[in-house]
Amino acid sequence: MNTTTAADQHWRLSALCAQTDPEAFFPERGSSPAAAKKVCAACPVQAACRAEAARFGDVMGVWSGTTENERKRARRASAPICPGCGREFTRTSPTAKYCGDLCRQAARNATKTASQNRRTGTSPRRAA
């Protein structure tokens, strides 16, 4: 469901990119995004533009002074979500997947139980 209203999009009326060469905001591979970034630096609606780009995730081109690759890198560097408890956590190593020992252990136990069930032919779905 799209809950975007006309009021949410009002900021677009002040977007400087709408008044300049749109090609600059979609630089060819290997060409510089500098011209677009310069326009963004002077744009009065950078914050709304950044929020819109974050809301849609993988948007193409330069938004709020950032390229697609720069936004991807920033997303990867942002706080990860622990799949065990669903909370943000700070990585203690570059490969840390869980927030701590409790969630890691719980995930291990769940995997162990699932593989035991597979081996013994016990399925929680069948038992229900």
Whose CA is closest to 19, among 36, 4, 7?
36
Q: What share of the chain is helix, strand, coil (3-state, %, to 5)?
A: 50, 5, 45
Task: Confirm or reject binding of residue 85 to Zn ion (CB under 5 A).
Answer: yes
Task: Confirm or reject binding of residue 24 to ligand SF4 (CB under 6 A).
Answer: no
Task: Confirm or reject binding of residue 49 to ligand SF4 (CB under 6 A).
Answer: yes
Q: Site for ligand SF4 (CB under 6 A): which residue of 8, 10, 32, 46? A: 46
Q: 50: how many CB neighbours lie within 10 A of its CB?
A: 16
Whose CA is closest to 17, among 46, 52, 54, 60?
46
Task: Confirm or reject binding of residue 43 to ligand SF4 (CB under 6 A).
Answer: yes
Task: Confirm or reject binding of residue 99 to ligand SF4 (CB under 6 A).
Answer: no
| Contacting residues toward ligand SF4, per CB under 6 A | 15-17, 39-40, 43, 45-46, 49, 62-64
